[in-house]
Amino acid sequence: MKLNLPNKLTLLRVILIPFFLVCIYIKFPMHYFAALVVFAAASITDALDGNIARKRNLVTNFGKFLDPLADKVLVLTALAVFVELPEVHFGAIPLIIIAAREFMVSGLRLVAADSGIVVAAGIWGKLKTAFTMTAIVVTLLWLSICNDLSLSLPEGLVTAADNIIIPLLMWISVILTVISGGIYLKGYWNLIDSDK
């Protein structure tokens, strides 16, 4: 199968996920910064592939299948990793809510496809994805600053970042996730009516 440029970028995003995990778990110098670079590169491919596909009329079924899957796996991988890290203080609840929303929307897309309807990504879904990826990048940047660099940071700044700023960013992502999920559910509720 010959892949066009958008599909190659999407596939690259999938390939970068194991490299992200290696950078997180193998404690080489500046490993959190390396994880940040890998995640940021993967996030950039997410912004590029869809735009290129639409502008050059290169939308394919392969891209429609793999692009949202790659996004979900990338984001859920990062959130699952954060749950294991003692330096990250927002716990598993954001991961559970975001994963539940992704499963719900994927289910809606399957039901809609059965009826010949394509569920396109709405503005709230795009905003949710962009903000969640930004929150993850900020978290990785903070992990790199605190662990990779030998900086003497004010205790108040460390406490505020660890306990307020980073968790707040992630909870805003959760709120956007719930809003976008609710909008999808409301828009396509007729497809899952229990009377049908």
**pLDDT tens-digit series, residues 17-66:** 999 999 999 999 999 999 999 999 999 998 888 788 788 887 777 777 78
Note the pLDDT of residue 17.
Answer: 96
pLDDT of 166 higher than 90? yes
* CATH number of the domain bearing residue 147: 1.20.120
pLDDT band at 193 (very low <50, low <70, confident <90, very high): low
Stated as kind and residue range, the H or E segment containing 21 is helix 5-25
Note the pLDDT of residue 112.
Answer: 76
Query: How large is the greatest C-alpha to C-alpha distance in the chain, in angstroms?
Result: 63
99 phi/psi in degrees, rounded to 5? -65, -40
The token duo for 194 is 């229990």
Note the pLDDT of residue 53.
Answer: 78
Distance of alpha carbon 154 from its chain centroid, rounded? 31
pLDDT of 196 higher than 60? no
**pLDDT tens-digit series, residues 3-20:** 888 888 889 999 999 999
CA distance 74 to 177: 16
**pLDDT tens-digit series, residues 56-109:** 887 777 777 788 888 889 999 999 999 999 889 888 999 999 999 988 888 887
**What is the residue range of 147's domain?**
5-192
DSSP string for residues in 46-101 = HHHHHHHHHHTT---HHHHHHHHHHHHHHHHHHHHHHHH-TT--S-SHHHHHHHHH
Note the pLDDT of residue 2.
Answer: 77
The token duo for 95 is 């991961």
Note the pLDDT of residue 66.
Answer: 81
State the total domains in the chain: 1
Note the pLDDT of residue 121.
Answer: 65
